Amino acid sequence: MIKLKELLKEWNDTSFRDLPKRWSKPVMKGKEPDGLTEFERLGGKDNISVDEAMSDEKRSFLMLRIYGDSWKINLGKVFSGINKGKPTLIKKGLKEIKILNKKIEEMIEELI
């Protein structure tokens, strides 16, 4: 668990000031006509590597959240279709909700 003190320490970190800039002015505005930053001219490679893969449980919950948001959007389409009197919008929203429900059920079965 990340503590507030660690977050504040990271937020107030000034060690980056000695590093080359990562953002530059728009192309052809400054002395450098190539539009590259100092960081990009030096090779532009980060030394940080992300080797840790997301756990299956975390991935599943993230996907459930995404499916839930999509479900909410499609339900909004259904209500919008009802309010505007457009049956095609209602049909499309219900079809998407049906597909999402199937995906959510499959994801829950994988979790259990």
Residues 35-89: tens digit of each pLDDT: 666 777 777 776 666 667 778 778 878 888 888 888 888 888 888 888 888 888 8
2 Ramachandran zone, left/alpha/beta (phi>0; psi -120 to 50):
beta
Residue 24 pLDDT > 70: no
Q: Is residue 89 part of a domain?
A: yes
Return the pLDDT at 79.
86
Q: Is residue 15 part of a domain?
A: no
Q: Is residue 77 part of a domain?
A: yes
What 3 state SS string does 33-80 have?
CCCCCHHHHCCCCCCCCCCCCCCHHHHHHHHHHHHHHHHHHHHHHHHH
CB count, 10 Å around CB of 100? 20
Q: At how many degrees (to 10) do helices 56-84 and 87-111 cross?
A: 160
When pLDDT is cut at 50, 70 and 90, the band that residue 7 belongs to is low
Residue 93 lies in a domain: yes
The predicted pLDDT at position 91 comes to 85
Structural domain for 88, as ranges: 56-111
CB 100 within 8 A of CB 70: yes
| Structural domain count, the chain | 1
Q: Is residue 83 domain-resident?
A: yes
Is residue 90 included in any domain, yes or no?
yes
- Scored b (16 or more CB within 10 A) or e, 22-41 reads eebeeeeeeeeeeeebebee
Residue 46 lies in a domain: no
pTM over 0.85: no
* Residue 63 located in a structural domain: yes
